[in-house]
């Protein structure tokens, strides 16, 4: 399985780091200039491709389009780019799974994700969700859940 994301802080970055930790192929589209809310995305994330636009919308739709499915993490409320991603999966017609980390604990999240991944078997999985600034702690929770979920599907 290949993991892709838009490289933003929070859930996106957790997806890239989990893939790197597990030795999975990773990549995805990022805004021109490798733009993220905390500055430029580090070049340690090789394999990321820049879009023509420095805005986030283009990379959001490109990542949905090139993935077989999208896994979306959030904390209670879906807003902004996370909502755009949710809508985009429907517009483009790709399966998605939403994980509300306020509703589900880590064990429950892992079970839900592993069952979903076993059912749809994506070759390319887009990891998306809330930014760290809007959902403090989402990176750590998402990273732990992804390590457990993806390791169980290797």
Residue 92 has pLDDT above 60, yes or no: yes
Residue 113 has pLDDT above 70, yes or no: yes
Residue 152 has pLDDT above 80, yes or no: no
Percentage of the chain exceeding pLDDT 90: 94
Mean pLDDT over 76-101 rounds to 96
Instruction: From 26, 32, 27, select the one nearest 50 (Cα to Cα).
Output: 32
Residue 149 has pLDDT above 90, yes or no: yes
Residue 153 has pLDDT above 90, yes or no: no
- Parse the chain into domains and list their residue ranges: 2-151
Residue 129 has pLDDT above 80, yes or no: yes
Q: Confidence class of residue 154 from pLDDT cuts 50, 70 and 90?
A: low
Report the mean per-residue pLDDT for the chain.
95
In CATH terms, 2-151 corresponds, of 3.20.20.80, 3.80.10.10, 3.40.50.450, 3.40.50.150, to 3.40.50.450
Q: Confidence class of residue 47 from pLDDT cuts 50, 70 and 90?
A: confident
Residue 38 has pLDDT above 60, yes or no: yes
**How many residues in the chain?**
154
- Tell me the chain's radius of gyration from C-alpha atoms: 14
Q: Report d(CA 62, CA 68) in Å as an integer.
A: 12
Contacts of 58 (CB under 8 A, 6+ apart): 29, 31, 51, 52
């Amino acid at each position: 399985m290949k993991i892709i994301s838009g490289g933003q802080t929070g859930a996106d970055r957790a997806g890239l780091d989990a893939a790197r930790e597990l030795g999975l192929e990773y990549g995805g589209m990022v805004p021109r200039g490798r733009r993220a809310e905390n500055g430029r995305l580090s070049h340690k994330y090789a394999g990321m491709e820049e879009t023509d636009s420095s805005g986030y919308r283009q990379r959001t739709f490109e990542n949905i389009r090139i993935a077989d499915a999208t896994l979306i993490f959030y904390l209670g409320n879906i807003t902004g780019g996370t909502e755009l991603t949710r809508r985009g999966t429907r517009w483009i017609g790709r399966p998605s799974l939403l994980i509300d980390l306020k509703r589900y604990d880590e064990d429950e999240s892992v079970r839900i994700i592993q069952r979903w991944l076993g059912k749809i078997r994506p070759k390319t999985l887009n990891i998306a969700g809330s930014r760290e600034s809007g959902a403090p702690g989402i990176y750590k929770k998402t990273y732990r859940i992804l390590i457990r979920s993806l390791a169980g599907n290797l």
